[in-house]
Amino acid sequence: MRNAEFSASVCQQTRIRLKWPEKLLKCLALMSMVTVEHLHKVFGRFTAVKDATFSIEKGEIVGFLGPNGAGKTTTMKMLTGYLPPTAGTASIAGYDIIDQPLEARRHLGYMPENVPLYDDMRVMQYLEYRAMLKGICGKAVRQQVGWVIDRCGLEPKRKNLISTLSKGYRQRVGLADALLGDPDLLILDEPTNGLDPNQIRQIRELVRSLAEEHTVILSTHILSEVEMICNKVIIIDQGQIKANDTPGNLTRNLRAAGRVSIEFKGDLDTVVRELEAFEPVKKVIVEAPLPGGWHHVIVRAEPGTDTREKAAAIIASHQFPMRHIYRHIPSLEDVFVEMTRKD
């Protein structure tokens, strides 16, 4: 088949597929955007992903976290169709990634960690080429390319050769490519990898703005980004899902959430004994003595409890001086370390 005939055929098929019955559209709107059930991926004797199960609802911004080699990229490549799963099932917008791969892919845009670009093409030329590969036809190509160029801040570079672009602008081209076709789901693998602080901030703001209209899965090692952008966190380690919740719930339920630091003078043994008798307290750790006769203790209690008032009352009842009492507020970094540490 000649190129013109092939393009016309693709366009006609695309138009036909877009005519969804109203009832089907309503059903799809109620479905989870991503559903993963017991997903496995094995390479020889190495299991990269083991029994991964999670779901992502429409409109969520999900931080997908894990140490190097934990299975993040492998999981995302299975969702995008780059790798077939060894076992298990997954669906995008209700379409099975194995049985209905083309339908599933029409609902997602993928930006890999190392964005593959053609250096000898100009930005607009490359995006037009990518749009046509995705089945966008006729006037819609220019409309779509113009929209993504404007959305990703590429207007000053639209006629530049890709080989002349900085790392930050290359990442923007990768994002623009992922946005072509206006997919429901964006999967972004390390979108700020290798960028300087100013570029990171720019890409972060861009991702935040994209999340207003798309479901986003964001893989990154910069945990502060996840705390600022994401409303859900999935942590994977050694191929297994270790956590799947909102950042707030994860930090509240962390063991470190009940930790209180105290500095005081007086009878150390008495204070430690009375603190340990308080029911929520699990352990009192005595730190190295401080200059001037000051003691430093760490009180570990049940997550979600605050022992500061009781601890202060115990010390005050003996009329011991106290100069510091502080309840540790755990961060997403604390959650990540506790979930993935090997000890």
Mean of per-residue pLDDT scores for the chain: 86
Are the C-beta atoms of residues 62 and 217 closer than 8 Å to each other? yes
pTM of full prediction above 0.85: no
Fold of 3-244: Rossmann fold (3.40.50)
Q: What is the CATH number of domain 252-340?
A: 3.30.70.3100
Angle among Cα 300, 304, 310 to the nearest 5 degrees reads 60
Among the residues of the chain, which ranges form H helices?
3-17, 22-30, 72-80, 101-105, 123-133, 139-151, 167-179, 197-210, 223-229, 247-252, 268-276, 308-317, 332-340
Domain boundaries along the sequence of the chain: 3-244, 252-340
Write out pLDDT tens, residues 76-88: 999 998 899 999 9
CB atoms under 10 Å from CB of 215, counted, come to: 24
What are 198's two structure tokens? 């100013």
Confidence band of 275 (pLDDT split at 50, 70, 90):
very high
Are the C-beta atoms of residues 34 and 59 closer than 8 Å to each other? no
Most confident of 21-30, 54-63, 195-204: 54-63
Most confident of 14-23, 68-77, 197-206: 68-77
